[in-house]
Structure 1
């Protein structure tokens, strides 16, 4: 660990042997293994309403994108691609 001393100097404790390293490793490992307590958060009605509107807007945009994809696929499948690429398709 590092400690800031007056005058801008830093005091650093560096482990010097394997015992110190192992002890610090075990301490950090036990710290990591502990689960953080769950935070219970109360959601207000205004936040719920904003989330609903955000979800609705997202669904509208996705629907719009899918419709545009369908429109492009329809236009290109009805001989629109041959006009763009310059190749002629055989006439039945």
Structure 2
């Protein structure tokens, strides 16, 4: 695996808040931002920004359920990302 690829995978995991988000999503099938923000005790706005960053990097994905955007862990991810998620 190229160094740039490893950096891209590891960078989002360098934040405690982002690790907390991934951990919540690991424990639930999918969750809206308000639920994640309550679980990790972070503002809705900050949680939403972290989720967008994680989604942009391909660590999490989202889909709309009515008016709410629900985030979830994709089934297809790199072996390194799978390993890191398994540690949480």
TM-score tier, shorter chain, comes to under 0.3
Q: Which of the pair has more CA radius of gyration? A: 1
In the superposition, the TM-score normalised over structure 1's length comes to 0.21
Larger proportion of strand: 2
- With a CA cutoff of 8 Å and minimum separation of 6, indicate the structure with the bigger relative contact order: 2
